[in-house]
Structure 1
Amino acid sequence: MKRFLAVYMGTEAAMGDWNALSDTERQQREKAGIAAWKQWVETNQQAIIEVGAPLGKTLSASKRGIGKIKNQLTGFTVVQAESHEQAAKLFEGHPHFTLFPGDSIEIMECLPIPG
């Protein structure tokens, strides 16, 4: 089995739409989203290596030093599958973008370190 990193993506525009919802609507969608996410984990538990977590603010370390940056990364999960396509199919209809304000989930293979 191959390992794949799934990165949850979200934009400021999507969060703006989420924040524009009424408190009641947001709370209802959040409750439904958490229940759906737990169901997704239960359904796919055999493929999940690491459930992952939401991601916080980002710092960048480079030869220029350390600085604050913004990106669209909102969370991650690590799964295993026979193929890239099979791994991606695990995330079809995911609550990240069907109930929560997420935009997409990017799935990439975790390749072995050369040598």
Structure 2
Amino acid sequence: MTKYLYLYSGGGKPTKEKDAKAQMAAWMSYFGKLGSALVDHGTPLIPASTLLGTAQASAATGFSIIQAESHDQAVALTAGHPHLANGGGIEVFEYMPMPTM
């Protein structure tokens, strides 16, 4: 199994407590559907600053880490993702194997 990073961008933040509870329930239901594929549910991210170089700061709003047999399977596992239903986007990155030192 290979690890994949779901990098979230955009998405609306609920303004009412009942909407926030419903949104959290949708995320927990989605994570439950992933089962053992879920490595780390992640967290929302605070906006970043770029410290070096000329690159622009990322628009990332959160992340999760999953494991899957292939990139296609990792993408398929986003079906029904609450972040997509809430107007957000997801980038799927494969962890690159690194030699141990």
Q: Residue 110 of structure 1: which of 91, 95, 99 is its match? A: 95
**Superposed, which structure 2 residues align to 1:1-115 within 5 Å?**
1-10=1-10, 15=12, 23=15, 26-62=16-52, 70-98=57-85, 100=86, 102-113=87-98
CA-CA distance at 1:51 after TM superposition: 1.0
> What are the ranges of 5 or more consecutive residues in structure 2 without an aligned counterpart?
none
Letter in 1 for 2:91: E
Bigger helix fraction: 1
The structure having more radius of gyration, on CA atoms, is: 1
Count residues with an aligned counterpart: 99
Q: Deviations over 1:1-59 (max 9, x none)?
A: 1110110111xxx65xx68xxx5xx4443222111100111111200111110000202
Percent identity over the alignment is: 34
> What are the ranges of 5 or more consecutive residues in structure 1 without an aligned counterpart?
none
CA distance in 1, matches of 2:45, 2:58: 11
SS across alignment from 2:50: strand
CA distance in 1, matches of 2:22, 2:72: 27
After TM superposition, the score normalised by the length of structure 2 is: 0.81
The CA RMSD measured in Å over matched residues stands at: 2.4
Would you identify which runs of 4 or more consecutive aligned residues in structure 1 move more than 6 Å?
none
After TM superposition, the score normalised by the length of structure 1 is: 0.72
